[in-house]
Amino acid sequence: MVLPHSHRTNHPPQNTTELTKTSVVTGGAGFIGSHLVKQLLRADDVTGVTVLDAITYAGHIENLREELHCPRLTFVKGTILDQELVDYYVRRNSAIVHLAAESHVDRSFYAASTFVMTNVLGTQILLAAAKRFATKRFVHVSTDEVYGPLASGSASEEDALRPSVPYAASKAASDMIALSYFRTFGVPVCVTRSSNNYGPCQHAEKIIPLFVTRLLRGDQVTLHGKGEHVRNWLHVEDNCRGLDLVLRHGVPGGIYNIGGGTDLTNKELTGLLLAECGADWDAVSYVPDRRSNDIRYCMDWSKLRRLGFKPQRTLKKSLAETGWYRDNPDRWPPVRRDPDAPMAEVAVAIAGA
């Protein structure tokens, strides 16, 4: 196989056994992935990071604008469904951090097959490559939504998975595929499950950037039901600190919940965003609850705490970062012209999970 120039790495194959020397980060131009890449490149012991990203609607090369000039970064535009391309880069790196995924609940209602293809088959293709080339560590990044709704209490890593929607089901399936490669073939897989992330560069279909950009436009925002759904909010940089801990110190076969930060109902969150944007409750309307809208997520993350994890950011103190959206209007969602059009066509959510 002769790869085009854009698919050639700048770094020779590595012979080290150190986990963090060189990593493939799938989805590394996305929201969480780009923050993780920046964190890895700040580490003195990281000699190379290869970003593999298909640059779909959710990935932006601009998220890595400065990092593209770093000689330790190799950027590859490509899909995890391309086995030949995956093989080429996996065998040249010691670790994989797998973030590439279809991740928006509302989109999964209209394009479930895309979620299954990317999240399940894409994960299996990466795992097969990791098995063939003896990858030293495979960190599979998942979500608290695989546990399903909890009226009370917190989900631990040992709890059964009860996903409600196609997105969460596809992630639960990919978790099981990943862990099966550890149990069957000894691939050193760790699974992380994080709560709702927020921070700069998040795609505008998610609830915080969606509400902020609508309020900045002077438009209405909408709450499902009575706005009583509870979510745990975790700053993206805190999540990346957790991912780095698991990459370096996680036990193969282990599952690690990454939570903390702030628990809020969607109505409480909306109140904070209104205040930050200088708007009032006249800008809020209520719509019927969407299908399968889980009332509450909550995880026990004491296992990761024992590795030294502690969230350093709270949502209330980080809301000033919404100024990023004021400064980047090119990343705002398009004006929704037909409120009855399917989500897959308008590429924007009524209210993200």
Would you please indicate which residues are annotated as catalytic (active-site) residues?
144-145, 167
Q: How far apart are CA 9 and CA 338, in angstroms?
A: 44
Nearest to 123 by CA among 191, 58, 22: 191
| Strand partners of residue 222 | 285
Contact in structure between 107 and 343 (CB atoms under 8 Å): yes
Nearest to 133 by CA among 79, 172, 188: 188
Contact in structure between 299 and 255 (CB atoms under 8 Å): no
- Both tokens of residue 154? 């917190």
